[in-house]
A and B are shown apart, each in its own frame.
Chain A
Amino acid sequence: MLPLRFRRVTMSARVLVGVKRVIDYAVKIRVKPDRTGVVTDGVKHSMNPFCEIAVEEAVKLKEKKLVKEVVAVSCGPQQVQETIRTALAMGADRGIHVEVSGKDYETLGPLQVSKIFAALAKKEQADLIILGKQAIDDDCNQTGQMTAALLDWPQGTFASEVTLEADKLKVVREIDGGLETIKIKLPAVVTADLRLNTPRYATLPNIMKAKKKKIVNVKPADLGVDVSSRLEVLKVDEPPQRQSGVKVETVHDLVEKLKEAGRI
Chain B
Amino acid sequence: MTVPHCYHKHRITLIHMTRRCIRALKAVRAEHVAPQVYSTRWSSSTVPRITTHYTVYPRDKDPRWEGMEMERFADEADVVIVGGGPAGLSAAIRLKQLANQHEKELRVCVVEKASQIGAHTLSGACLEPTALNELIPDWKERGAPLNTPVTEDKFAILTEKYRIPVPILPGLPMNNHGNYLVRLGHFVRWLGEQAEELGVELYPGYAAAEVLFHEDGSVKGIATNDVGIGKDGSPKDVFERGMELHAKVTLFGEGCHGHLAKQLYKQFNLRENCEPQTYAIGLKELWVIDEKKWRPGRTEHSVGWPLNRNTYGGSFLYHLNEGEPLVALGFVVGLDYTNPYLSPFREFQRWKHHPSIMSTLEGGNRIAYGARALNEGGFQSIPKLTFPGGMLIGCSPGFMNVPKIKGTHTAMKSGMLAAETAFSKITDENLQSETAGLYIPEYKEALEKSWIWKELYAVRNIRPSFHNYFGLYGGMLYTGIFYWFLRGKEPWTLKHNGLDSAQLKPAKDCAPIEYPKPDGKISFDLLSSVALSGTNHEHDQPPHLTLKDDSVPVAQNLAIYDGPEQRFCPAGVYEYVPLETGDGMRLQINAQNCVHCKTCDIKDPSQNINWVVPEGSGGPAYNGM
Contacts and interface: CB of A to CB of B under 8 A. Distances in A.
Given A26-B621, A43-B623, A198 B531 contact: no
A28 B240 contact: no
A84 B115 CA distance: 16
Interface in B412-431: none
Interface in A192-211: 198-201, 203-205, 207-208
Contact of B203 (A30, A198, A207): A207
Interface string A177-219: 0000000000000000000001111011101100000000000
Given A203-B227, A204-B203, A205-B73, A46 B534 contact: no
Contacts of B73: 205
B509 interface: no
A24 B620 CA distance: 11
Interface string A18-33: 0000001111101001
Chain A contact-residue range equals: 20 to 34
B405 interface: no
B534 A27 contact: yes
A42 interface: yes
B115 A24 contact: yes
Nearest to A43: B623
Interface string A22-65: 00111110100100000001111010000000000000000000
Contacts of A41: 623
Nearest to A202: B205
A201 B227 contact: yes
A44 B119 contact: yes
B534 A26 contact: yes
B339 to A, nearest CB: 32
A28 to B, nearest CB: 5
B367 interface: yes
Given A24-B115, A24-B534, A204-B203, A42 B186 contact: yes
A15 to B, nearest CB: 21
B238 interface: yes
Contacts of A42: 118, 185-186, 189, 623-624
A200 B538 CA distance: 13
B228 interface: yes
A28 B534 CA distance: 6
B247 to A, nearest CB: 15
Interface in A82-132: none
Nearest to A200: B238
Contacts of B224: 204
Kindly name the residue among A25, A27, A43, A200 whose own CB sees the greatest number of chain B CB atoms within 10 A: A27
A205 B237 CA distance: 18
Contact of B116 (A30, A44, A201): A44
B75 A208 contact: yes
A140 B115 CA distance: 27
Interface in B238-285: 238, 240, 242-243
A52 to B, nearest CB: 12
Interface residues of B, number: 30
Nearest to B540: A198
B211 interface: no
B206 A28 contact: no
Contacts of B367: 30
Interface string B90-103: 00000000000000
Contact of A46 (B115, B228, B531): B115
Given A30-B367, A42-B185, A201 B238 contact: yes
A216 B536 CA distance: 33
A30 B288 CA distance: 12
A198 B119 CA distance: 26
Nearest to A42: B623
A26 B536 CA distance: 6
A27 B623 CA distance: 10
Contacts of B288: 33
Contacts of B206: 204, 207
Contacts of A201: 227-228, 238, 240
B243 A44 contact: no
A91 B524 CA distance: 45
A207 B119 CA distance: 20
B237 A198 contact: yes
B75 A203 contact: no
A26 to B, nearest CB: 3
A43 B368 CA distance: 12
B111 to A, nearest CB: 8
B532 A28 contact: yes
B556 to A, nearest CB: 34
Contacts of A204: 203, 206, 224, 242-243
Given A41-B623, A42-B623, A198-B238, 15 more contacts: A24-B536, A27-B534, A27-B621, A28-B532, A33-B288, A42-B118, A42-B185, A44-B115, A44-B119, A199-B238, A200-B238, A201-B240, A204-B224, A205-B75, A207-B203
Interface of B: 73, 75, 115-116, 118-119, 185-186, 189, 203, 206, 224, 227-228, 237-238, 240, 242-243, 288, 324, 367, 531-532, 534-536, 621, 623-624
13 contacts: A24-B536, A26-B534, A26-B535, A28-B531, A28-B532, A28-B534, A42-B189, A43-B623, A44-B115, A44-B623, A205-B73, A207-B203, A207-B206
Interface of A: 24-28, 30, 33, 41-44, 46, 198-201, 203-205, 207-208
Sorted nearest first, the 5 A-B pairs with minimum C-beta distance are A26-B536, A44-B621, A201-B227, A42-B623, A205-B73
